[in-house]
Structure 1
Amino acid sequence: MKRSVYKGFTLLMLAATLGLSACGNGGANNGEANASNAGGNGASNAPVKLKIMWQGADIRHQAMLKTQEVYTKLNPSVTFSPEYMAWDDYWKKLPTLAASHSLPDVLHMDGAYIQEYATRGTLEDLSDIDLTGVIDDKTLENLKIGGKLYGIPISRNAQGMAFNKEALEAAGIELPKKDWTWDEYFDFARNARAKLPDGVYPISDTDTWDFYQYYQMSYGKGRIIQEDGKKFNLDKDLFMKFYGIHAEFREKKIVPPADMVSAFKENDPQADPMASGKVMTRGATVGSVGALEQLMPGKIDVVNLPVGPEGGGWAQPTIFLSVSTDAKHKDAAKAFIKWFVTDQEAGKTYGTNFGIPIYDEIYAALEPTLQPKEKLGKKLYDTSIDKAMPFSPAAAGWTEWVDNYKKTMDAVMYGQKSIEDAYNEISKSGNAIAEKQAAK
C-alpha cells in the first residue's frame, strides 16, 4: 500500500495441509514428516522449488529468507525461489503476473486486496486446512470471502499512530493520549504548531480515502464502499468538514507543504516523515511500527487513531500467505504455510517482523526475548483493540477509484481544485462504479 502517511497497512497470512500438527511445538519432525509428500506429484522426496513472493521493509525480507533456510534444513527436498520488494512495487507487479497466469506458488496477500484477487479466481481456497487451536473459528469465519478462505492470517494487526515522544516532550507539548477524539487530535495539531520550530509539523496532510473513511465511520456514517462494491456512501457534510480543517491547516502551516508530503516515503531514513524529523506523528500498524522504532530507537510511542462516537481505527488480521491457482506445487505450498504459522522454530526465526503472531503459543514463547521495538507493536494492538471498528478495504473493481481519489485530493492539496469540486468528482465516479457493480 502507498506513499501516504496514513496507510491502511499490512501483515501476513499462512496456511497448509498434509496432516501437520496444529500445535506449534517447534519440532523438526513435523516438517520432515510432511516434506515427503509436499511436492503434490505423488513422488516421495521429489525435489520441489517453491516460488514465493512478498513485500515489506528489508527487516521483513531478511526474516522471511531466514525462515525459508530453516524450512529447507528440515526438508532438504524443498527449496525456494524468492522474490520480494517494497509495498508500491509489489502491488504494481502483481496484476501483471495475475493477468499472465504466472503468480508464484506462495504469495503475500493483504486485507486491502485479497477480495479482489480471490473473486477473480487467482487464489486457491484454503478452507480445508485444519487450524483448530491455532486460529479461533470466529476470526477465520470473518475472513472468509463467499464462504471460502483464500489466505491464512499469520499475525494480528491494528492501525494506530506513532508519535515522536522525545521531541514533543522537549518542546513542552502534551502527548497524545489513548482514545483521544478527533477534536482533540485537531486541537493537538493547532497547539503543537505554536511550540514547534519552523519547518517541523505536528501532523501531516492526507490524500487517501482510507484515512478519511476512519473519520466517517467513527461518526456512525458507515463505510464508503458497501455491499461488495454495489453501494457508494460518501457523507458530504463530514467530507467537507474534514478536508476544510486540513485546508485551514495548510494555510496556517500546521501541515507540511504539498511537495514535501508527496516526497515522503515511510521507513526511509531520509524521507520518512518522522525519521527525517519533519513531522511529529504518522500512521502506523503493528507490523510497521517496529521498523520506525529501529530508525528512531527509544524516541517514539504509540496511540490509537482518533475516535468518534462509534470508535476509531481497526484491529484484526490483515496480512496473509496465500496459494495461487497458478501454483505448480500447491500441496508443498500449503505444507510450508502450515509449518510457518504453527511451528515455534519458525516463529522464533521470523519473530514479530510480520506483526504479533496469530498463534498465541508462538507469541508466548517469543515474549521474554522481545526488544522494545517488538513490544511497541503489541502496545499499539492493545491500545487500539477496545475502540476498533471493522477493517474495511475497497471492494473488487474499485482500484481505479482508490487511485483517482488520491489524485483528486492531491490536486486539492496543491491548491488546484476546491474541496467541493473534489467531492463532486469523487462522488460521481464512485456512484458510477457502484451502479456498474450492481448491474452485474
Structure 2
Amino acid sequence: MRRGKPAALLLTGLTLLLAATACSSGGGNDGGNGAANGNAGASGNGEETKAAEPAALGMMWWGPDERHTATKSALELYTKQNPNVTFKPEFMAWDAYWQKLPTLAASKSIPDVLQMDAAYIQEYVARGQLEDLSDVDLSGIVDPKVVENLKIGGKLYGIPLSQNAQGIAFNKTELEQYGIPLPQQNWTYDEYFQWARDARAKLPEGKYPIGDTTSWDGFNMYQTSMGKPPVMADGGKTFTLDKELFMKFYETYADFRKDKIVPPAEKAAAFLENDPQADPMASGVVMTRGATTGSVSALEQLMPGKVGVVNMPTGPSGGGWAQSTIFLSVSANSKHKDDAKRFVRWFITDKDAGQTLGLTRGIPINPEIYKELEPTLAEKDKLGKEIYDLSVEKALPFYSAAAGFSEWVDTYNKEMQAVTYGQQSIEAAYDKINKMGTELAAKAGS
C-alpha cells in the first residue's frame, strides 16, 4: 500500500505505508433498481441509469493535487450526464484523511462515497461502516478472479479502481553522475543492501543511498519474501513476528546508521514526501525512496527526467506486491445507496471519465479505459506502468493491518523510532512489539 507522509517509513529507501500506500445499515433504499439489479451501465460508454430524484452525494478522498483536480472534473462530468445528482466533495492528504475518517465513523457520518485503501478496508468492514457492493455488476469490467480475491466474508465492500504496485524510485541522474550502477529488476535483499554499501562509498558527504525504516509493513515484506507467513493473518487471529529475521533486518539498519548509509534520525524526521524542499529524494539528499504506480507521477513532476524505477527487493518467495489496493466504497449509512452504487460503477466504466481521471489512481482496473489512455501517456504515467510491469513477476499478496491492530501499528513505529534515536535496543523493541501483537491476536481469536 503512497501522500505527504513523513519519510521515516521504510523506503525513503524501502516502502510507503500504504501506501502507497490503501467503513450498520441506515436509511437507504436498496429496493432493487439500478445497480442492485445489475442495470447500472446501460451504454457502451458506461452511462448510468439516471437518478429519478435529486441526490447530493458526499464524496471524500485523499491524494495529491493532480488527483484532486481530476476527480473534481469527473464529478462535474457525472452531474452533466446525470443532472439530478450533485456532489459535496472533500479531499485531503493521506495523513489528514485517516485522522478524520475514524471520527466520522464514530458519529456514523461518513460520506455517501469514500475512497478506501486495502490497508484499512477490513477494519471499516468490521465496524459495519461499509455497504455490501456485491450487487454492482462488474462483469466484463473487472476480472472475476480479482473480484473474488477482494471479497471479505464473501461480500464485496469496495470497487477496485486500479492495478497498483509497490516499487522503488531512484535518482538515475545523480547515480550515473557518481558512477553508481542503477538498480536492476528482481534484485534480492542481499543485493539491495550491498548496493547501498557500495553506493555509500561513491557518494559525497550529506548524500545517502537509501532511507531508514520504522514501519511494520516494510519488515512484513522482508519477512514474507523469506518464505515466512505474514505478520498478521486470519483477520488478526494469527500473529507471527519472526525474531531471527527481525533482528537480522534491523541490525543491518543499525550498521547503516553507524556507517552513514542512511540519514541520521533527526534528518529523517524532517522529510516530507512530495514536498519540493523536504522530499528525501527530490531534495537530493537520498538517492532512493518508495513509490507506487499511483504515486510516482508526483515525484517525476518534482524531478522531470531524473526518476528511474525498479521493483522491491526479493527473497526466495518473491517480494513486494502488485494488485488492487485502492477502492471506492459506499457508506452503510448513506441515504442514497442506489445513486452511490450507480456512481461508483460509472467511475470505472465511462470512457470520458477515464480520460479525465487518467492514471491519478494507478493503472485503471478496466482494460478498455487503459487502452484508450495508453497512446497519450506522459513520461510520469509511463513510470507508473513500468513499476507495475517490473513488479508483477515476483509480487506477493498485499498484506494489510488487521482490524484492531491500529494501535499496534503506531506502537511499532514509535518503538522503532526509539531504536533509530539510540534510546533502546532492537531486542527491547521486539519484546514490546511482539508482546502487544500476541495479546491482540489472542483477543481476536477469542
Q: Could you tell me whether the CA contact under 8 Å between 2:296 and 2:380 is conserved in 1?
A: yes
Q: Could you tell me whether the CA contact under 8 Å between 2:40 and 2:136 is conserved in 1?
A: no
- Aligned match for 1:264, one of 267, 271, 276: 271
Pair 1:142 & 2:137 matched: no
Return the letter of the residue paired with 2:366: Y
Q: Could you tell me whether the CA contact under 8 Å between 1:122 and 1:325 is conserved in 2?
A: yes
Deviates more, 1:266-275 or 1:405-414: 266-275
Return the letter of the residue paired with 1:382: D
* Equivalent residue runs for 1:338-349 within 5 Å: 338-349=345-356
Q: Distance in 1 between matches of 2:310 and 2:162?
A: 20
2:76 paired residue number: 69
Return the letter of the residue paired with 1:238: L
Alignment RMSD, CA only?
Answer: 1.4
2:304 paired residue number: 297
1:41 paired residue number: none
Q: Distance in 1 between matches of 2:173 and 2:145?
A: 40
- Aligned match for 1:180, one of 180, 187, 190: 187
2:114 paired residue number: 107
1:9 paired residue number: 19
2:163 paired residue number: 156
Deviations 1:327-379 (A, max 9, x none): 12111111111111111111000000110000000000000011010011000
Pair 328,428 (structure 1): closer, same or farther in 2 beyond 3 Å: same
**Structure 2: runs of 5 or more not aligned:** 23-33
Return the letter of the residue paired with 1:20: A
Report deviation, 1:193. Answer: 0.6
Runs of 4+ in 1 over 2 A off after TM superposition: 1-6, 15-18, 20-23
* Equivalent residue runs for 1:278-427 within 5 Å: 278-427=285-434
Pair 221,100 (structure 1): closer, same or farther in 2 beyond 3 Å: same
Question: TM-score, normalised to structure 1's length?
Answer: 0.94
Q: SS of 1:125's equivalent?
A: coil
Return the letter of the residue paired with 1:335: R
2:29 paired residue number: none
Report deviation, 1:10. Answer: 4.1
Report deviation, 1:21. Answer: 2.7
Q: Distance in 2 between matches of 1:364 and 1:275?
A: 31
Q: Distance in 2 between matches of 1:297 and 1:364?
A: 25
Identity %: 61
* Equivalent residue runs for 1:217-256 within 5 Å: 217-256=224-263
Q: Distance in 1 between matches of 2:73 and 2:273?
A: 24
Pair 1:277 & 2:296 matched: no
Q: Distance in 1 between matches of 2:238 and 2:93?
A: 32
**Structure 1: runs of 5 or more not aligned:** 39-43
The number of aligned residues is 424
Pair 1:26 & 2:45 matched: yes
Q: Could you tell me whether the CA contact under 8 Å between 1:16 and 1:336 is conserved in 2?
A: no
Q: Distance in 2 between matches of 1:156 and 1:419?
A: 36
Report deviation, 1:20. Answer: 2.8
Return the letter of the residue paired with 2:364: P
Q: Distance in 2 between matches of 1:287 and 1:262?
A: 24
Report deviation, 1:393. Answer: 0.6
Deviations 1:91-114 (A, max 9, x none): 010000000010000000000000
Return the letter of the residue paired with 2:303: M
Q: Could you tell me whether the CA contact under 8 Å between 1:11 and 1:354 is conserved in 2?
A: no
Q: Distance in 1 between matches of 2:267 and 2:88?
A: 38
Q: Could you tell me whether the CA contact under 8 Å between 1:126 and 1:150 is conserved in 2?
A: yes
Deviations 1:246-298 (A, max 9, x none): 00000011100101111211111111111111100011110101111111111
Q: SS of 1:50's equivalent?
A: strand
Deviates more, 1:225-234 or 1:353-362: 225-234
Question: TM-score, normalised to structure 2's length?
Answer: 0.93
Q: Distance in 2 between matches of 1:431 and 1:383?
A: 35
